[in-house]
Structure 1
Amino acid sequence: MNSIKYIERASGEIKEETVPGKGMLKWLYSSATGKVALHLLVKRKIVSDLGGWYMDTKMSAKRIPGFIAEHHINIDEFQDAGNYKTFNQFFYRKLKPGARTIQEGLVSPADGKILVFPSLNDVRSFFIKGSEFSLDEFLLNKELAQKYKDGAMAIVRLAPPDYHRYHFPAAGKASESIKIKGHYYSVSPLALQKNLEIFCRNQREYCTLTTEDFGKIIIVDVGATMVGSIIQTYQTGQVKKGDEKGYFAFGGSTLVLLFKKDKIKFDADLIKNTREGLETSIAMGEQIASN
């Protein structure tokens, strides 16, 4: 498996991501014995539930200082710094007011790394041959999938060190959240390089955000290995751009945004980086597209 390289948006430099559990991921997704363990045990809910249980215990708090130091997390951006009683309290920590600027246009719903596809037909060219993505299987709603089949998609990947609350990318009217049962595969690029169908197999929830400028946006929250919970904190109805939508408990996770055809124009640098096979670092509230 290759290392995870990405573009730092502010500087334009290529960086290499520190991947927690990289050796384990390589074993699980590349070796014969690892694949057996993956399909028999690791993908199952009980494993993520046990991981989540531990991260909710006081014992887990001792991991916090080392994790902050290893991943160079600016803890001053967050509320209750130094007062987290468990690792999960730290993991889904809240930002201080004003820690992120909500920019013009359509904005990123989360901190993380982003890929953008002006057309869903572009997805096949990014991931390895044979790794198919089916909108029908992803949404489990053929009628809805048909409306977005010629549209655009953004994938925002949250690594374990990232801020794990997510927000609305535009103002509008939010529908209720629809849950789709699934497994708990890793959504690290080290795993996705092997099988993009992971998105169609994992636990996920989606809502529709009806906006004036960008049409109806489908926001899909995707769980992954060790993500014990997807917690929605929003209320259905009118929301403002940047309002909190929910959070993930411990683990890596992903947000997928779907747009109807010709409703958005992704920023040029994000398109260029994706076409060159690289994710781009992004902050919640940072513009990713215009209309």
Structure 2
Amino acid sequence: MIRYFNRRTKNYNIEKVAGDAYLKWIYSSPLGMKFLEIIVKKKIFSKLYGLFCSTKYSKRKIRSFIDDFNIDMSECAIDYNDFNCFNDFFSRSLKKNARPINMNKKILISPVDGRLTAYEHINLNKIVQIKGFTYSLCDLINNNKTPVKFNNGTCLIFRLCPTDYHRFHFIDWGKCESYKKIKGDYYSVNPISLENISNVFCKNKREWSIFHSNNFGDVIYVEIGATCVGSIIQTYCPKKDISKGAEKGYFKFGGSTVILFFEKNKITVDKDIIEQTKKGYETRVLMGEKIGIQYEN
């Protein structure tokens, strides 16, 4: 059972997990773990399922997925009947007013819909994956030089589950460098997986780039694929002027993760998010909503 904090109601909600019984078997049983290592984590498994989700035959899954997970289609830019396949539905765009963006230059917004955990004053060699497991930023981005100035900074981890809006956006005005791809496996990023597999983020397929934010300093963006994520699609133009809230890219089918790294003394994360992280809970956030402010002495 996965509980997360709902900022609006101040209550804890239980997350309805797609393939819950399957995930528990795969990541919690000896036979399931063998199946995971031999087949599930492999690129071919996710690629084949991703290809199926791009065919017209996958369209029949859309209506039942909407009903099972109570997805609000009034936010969607087009009617569900107009999608050609499940991947089109999964990477759907929303209406312009569906995600209001706080345009105050001192306000830090969420780049995605998802469940957020936040860590301040991070040790670059011991970043928290989940209680008991840590990883290194150098290993995460496969780069030994870039991370130094992010020591003692802030790390924000956004977990997107399959029911979420799966496009990711920029948190500020600025310019973004070209992205770099890192090949890897396709483990789930669900908490069930994070509690049983060490260094998941450093093992999975991922892409990263440096965003030169006008108001929050340099920010490392890391997009991480997971089981059944066919692709990470970047849609932005590198080294061009970017507006706050502009789309950076999107994921095809599957749960996914976006991680942001900030330099020291650049942002102050909202207290409720920090408090819930310390208690061991993720906080549900929507793209464009306030999650912090510009750091002030």
Q: TM-score, normalised by structure 2?
A: 0.94
Quote how far apart the aligned CAs of 1:76 are: 1.0
SS at match of 2:135: coil
| Percent identity of paired positions between Structure 1 and Structure 2 | 42
Higher strand share: 2
Rounded to whole Å, the distance in 2 between the matches of 1:119 and 1:186 is 27
Q: Does 1:37 align with 2:35?
A: yes
Given residue 6 of structure 1, which amino acid in structure 2 is its aligned partner? Y
Change (3 A) 1:19 1:224: same
Quote how far apart the aligned CAs of 1:63 are: 0.9
SS at match of 2:134: coil
Change (3 A) 1:50 1:114: same
Quote how far apart the aligned CAs of 1:127 are: 2.1
Rounded to whole Å, the distance in 2 between the matches of 1:60 and 1:227 is 15
Q: 2:228 aligns with which of 223, 226, 229?
A: 226
Larger deviation: 271-280 or 115-124?
A: 115-124
1:22-61 to 2 correspondence within 5 Å? 22-61=20-59
Quote how far apart the aligned CAs of 1:149 are: 2.7
Residue number in structure 1 paired with 2:13: 15
Residue number in structure 2 paired with 1:167: 169
Rounded to whole Å, the distance in 2 between the matches of 1:144 and 1:40 is 34
Rounded to whole Å, the distance in 2 between the matches of 1:223 and 1:89 is 17
Rounded to whole Å, the distance in 2 between the matches of 1:206 and 1:270 is 24
Quote how far apart the aligned CAs of 1:121 are: 4.4
Given residue 285 of structure 2, which amino acid in structure 1 is its aligned partner? I
Rounded to whole Å, the distance in 2 between the matches of 1:238 and 1:196 is 38
Residue number in structure 2 paired with 1:135: 137
Q: Does 1:217 align with 2:215?
A: no
Rounded to whole Å, the distance in 2 between the matches of 1:126 and 1:148 is 17
The answer to whether the Cα contact below 8 Å between 2:129 and 2:135 also exists between their aligned partners in 1 is: no
Q: Does 1:260 align with 2:263?
A: yes
Quote how far apart the aligned CAs of 1:50 are: 0.7
The answer to whether the Cα contact below 8 Å between 2:129 and 2:199 also exists between their aligned partners in 1 is: no
Given residue 78 of structure 1, which amino acid in structure 2 is its aligned partner? C
The answer to whether the Cα contact below 8 Å between 1:126 and 1:277 also exists between their aligned partners in 2 is: no
Quote how far apart the aligned CAs of 1:125 are: 6.8
Deviations 1:218-275 (A, max 9, x none): 1101000000000001101210110000000000000000011111100111111111
Task: Let me know the Cα RMSD of the aligned residues.
Answer: 1.4
Quote how far apart the aligned CAs of 1:178 are: 0.8
Change (3 A) 1:125 1:187: closer
Change (3 A) 1:125 1:85: closer
Quote how far apart the aligned CAs of 1:59 are: 1.2
Rounded to whole Å, the distance in 1 between the matches of 2:6 and 2:94 is 21
1:271-286 to 2 correspondence within 5 Å? 271-286=274-289
The answer to whether the Cα contact below 8 Å between 1:165 and 1:244 also exists between their aligned partners in 2 is: yes
Quote how far apart the aligned CAs of 1:208 are: 0.8
Quote how far apart the aligned CAs of 1:124 are: 6.3
- Deviating 4+ runs (over 6 angstroms): 122-126
Rounded to whole Å, the distance in 2 between the matches of 1:59 and 1:51 is 12
Quote how far apart the aligned CAs of 1:147 are: 2.1
Given residue 65 of structure 2, which amino acid in structure 1 is its aligned partner? F
Residue number in structure 2 paired with 1:93: 92
Q: TM-score, normalised by structure 1?
A: 0.96
Rounded to whole Å, the distance in 2 between the matches of 1:125 and 1:19 is 23
Rounded to whole Å, the distance in 2 between the matches of 1:57 and 1:265 is 44
Quote how far apart the aligned CAs of 1:14 are: 0.4
Residue number in structure 2 paired with 1:63: 61
Rounded to whole Å, the distance in 2 between the matches of 1:120 and 1:286 is 24
Residue number in structure 2 paired with 1:111: 113
SS at match of 1:219: strand
Deviations 1:157-205 (A, max 9, x none): 1100100111001111111111111111000011112234100011111
